[in-house]
Structure 1
Amino acid sequence: WAIRISAVGDIMMGSTYPDSSSLIERDFFREVRPFFSASDVRIGNLEGTLFDGDIQTDGKRGGANRYLFKTPTRLAPHLTEAGFNFLSLANNHSRDFGRAGLESTKRTLAENGIGFSSKDGEVSEINIDGQKVAVISADFYQGKRSITTPASLYAEIRSLSNRYDIVIVMVHSGAEGMGAEKTRNNKEMFLGENRGNSVEFAHSAISAGADLILMSGPHVPRGLEVYNERLIAYSLGNFLTERGISISGYQGLAPLLEAELDSTGRFLSGNIHSFQQIRGRPVSIDPKARAYRLMSRMSAEDFPGTGPVFSADGRSIRPSQAPSAIGTDSDLLPIYRP
């Protein structure tokens, strides 16, 4: 038995704040759907809200140069059509429009058959051939499920690992933008905020019982690491982000990570499919495989000896241990060729 996960980073299909002048509905995920079709768990980070209301007193202040993301609820079916069955709501934009915006997002996802988790404590359960998978979300803000004060989060992971076969944690953390592609084993600060120590958290979460750590937040891809035979993706960057989020340079690289885990959560094999963002177009395949190449380089630089092995094919990854230690070559994920 093995589980296949497809994961991407930040998703924001457009915002009607402060107005809808640049909102263009299109087939956002046209080239993505075939890559999701063979996976059991299909994950992303929903950056913002699905909300049709106005500015809320308990949300962020409006005004010039304010980044508030309010995607119309009518666009939610695009997420279902893409194949997502889980979206993370623990990030620095999930409460842009206060409690009303967050509750609208949860309600809209539920109506569209998509699981979710936020700092409110939801556990999304996905059953695969009798095996139970738990998916939860965390971020860097104080309070519940915070990687900056993680004791209760580690305790929750330990509890979940006793009740579920596989535990997946999606985390929003780290500094942002160009230059943030490097992963450092220390506390990251951005705009005066403590964005947490991603490496310390990921290692401790795995020691507590997590089987896969997926991160977003830096808006650029970062390297990967295999720790105690568990895979860590330190940033999946942006995937589909419309107005308000830069897609220049590395911020326009949009990796889609596929990972295969065995029944105990060990990382067996995977692929990184390189997509790209071009403003005004749906996310599309990058023939230059730049996301894969960047993540390969950053894995080697930041995690020498513990990063996965990147192959010359521009897609596949595997643990650095000999395959006989964890399976055979036949276990490796096939490469999808459109």
Structure 2
Amino acid sequence: MKRLLMVLYLLMFVFILASCTGFAEVDDREAIPGEETSTEEPGEKKTIIISMVGDMLFHGTVDSYMKKYGDGYVLEGYGPLMKESDIVLGNLETSISKRGVPMEGKEYTFRGRPDVLKILKDNNFSAVSIANNHVLDFGIDAFLDTLDNLKKYELLYAGGGRNKEEAVKGTIIEKKDIKVGFLAFTKVVPVVEWYAGKNKPGIIGAYKVHEKEFVKTIQEMKKNCDVLVVSVHWGQEGTTTIRDEEKYIAHSMIDAGADIIMGHHTHVVQGIEIYKDKPIFYSLGNFIFTTSRIDINNKTIMANVEVDMEGNISDIHVIPGTIVNGKPTPMEGIERDNFIKYLNGLNVNYVLH
């Protein structure tokens, strides 16, 4: 009997010891302070929100309002919305420098102070396109300053560089384990001297003559990212009509691997097309820009696209706004509803709600 009791005591001791030394279920362990725990449901796909805006300049009257009200003035309206996004992209329609002289014979030339870039950084911008018809307005020195100043304020860029290799390289932004590639091209180039070369700073083109080159660039970038956004400066200024040549290029880019096309340059908002389940925003319009006497030039949109790492689009919506004194402000109520109806009338094959 004593032996039996001894055996029972030993078995109880072993059971208690085992419970205290890690045989309990892993899910029952206490959380370690500061340790990240996953809240994802099994099989749930990660998604991110990519926000895109059009032309931004920090010159002339826009700069005067920023000096008067503070640099943060221009993004008081959209800034809070941008901070809710994972990635924000736009077109930097100006050189950022204190050097250089205006290009001779060019009607409009833009140059901004280096410290204005802090406002983009503070409002969640990830990268900008520099492939456009104004980034070299003040010459090569000012263009190189632009690249240096973007780096200083930790803003990535695409569409231009110190040489052709850098200009076509683009950039990759990673959020929530999703790699987003960003490339930029322009179909508006004032003079051929603006093109980047082997040992020459400049930008890269998107004319039909460049098709083989931009197709190859897109194909190569898509190998290294999950989602690919391609920015294109194109279109006829002042018109909502989408030209066939822009449609052809957009389709060609998506066929090559682009997931989202963000267009700008026309200074007006143009319609949206869905091609092979991929959105094409033909023109996002002006954004931070001089107020125009033509009302339609003062309308803008911020396009938001929700996408997963396979490039599947789960949601598209736009936030329309009005530009007054250089500052874009989101529309509300009836004004917003009326503009969405107007935009749906321009859209190729997509209905916004």
Q: Is the 8 A contact 2:168 2:217 kept in 1?
A: no
* Matched residue, 1:99: 140
2:222 counterpart SS class:
helix
* Matched residue, 1:278: 324
1:79 aligns with 2:140: no
CA apart distance, 1:221: 0.3
* Matched residue, 1:166: 227
* Matched residue, 1:328: none
* Matched residue, 1:226: 274
CA distance in 1, matches of 2:64, 2:310: 49
CA apart distance, 1:271: 1.6
1:310 aligns with 2:338: no
CA apart distance, 1:247: 5.7
* Matched residue, 1:181: 240
Query: Which entry has the higher C-alpha Rg, 1 or 2?
Result: 2
Q: Deviations over 1:26-58 (max 9, x none)?
A: 3110111121122121011011111111306xx
Q: Is the 8 A contact 2:235 2:243 kept in 1?
A: no
Question: Structure 2: where are the runs of 5+ without partners?
Answer: 1-45, 161-166, 196-203
From 239, 259, 267, the equivalent of 2:287 is 239
From 64, 85, 88, the equivalent of 2:129 is 88
Amino acid at match of 2:50: I
**Root mean square deviation of aligned Cα:** 2.2
CA distance in 2, matches of 1:182, 1:3: 31
1:206 aligns with 2:264: no
CA apart distance, 1:16: 8.9
Q: Is the 8 A contact 1:257 1:272 kept in 2?
A: yes
1:228–1:293 Cα change, 3 Å: same
Q: Is the 8 A contact 2:300 2:322 kept in 1?
A: yes
Amino acid at match of 2:220: S
CA apart distance, 1:204: 0.8
* Matched residue, 1:266: 312
Q: Is the 8 A contact 1:254 1:291 kept in 2?
A: no
* Equivalent residues, number: 282
Amino acid at match of 1:61: E
CA apart distance, 1:211: 0.6
1:221–1:94 Cα change, 3 Å: same
Q: Is the 8 A contact 1:221 1:294 kept in 2?
A: no
Q: Deviations over 1:134-174 (max 9, x none)?
A: 10100014654423322100011111112211111000001
**Normalising by the residue count of structure 1, what TM-score does the alignment of the two structures yield?**
0.78
**Normalising by the residue count of structure 2, what TM-score does the alignment of the two structures yield?**
0.75
CA apart distance, 1:237: 0.4
CA distance in 1, matches of 2:144, 2:170: 16
More helix by share: 2
1:61 aligns with 2:104: yes
* Matched residue, 2:25: none
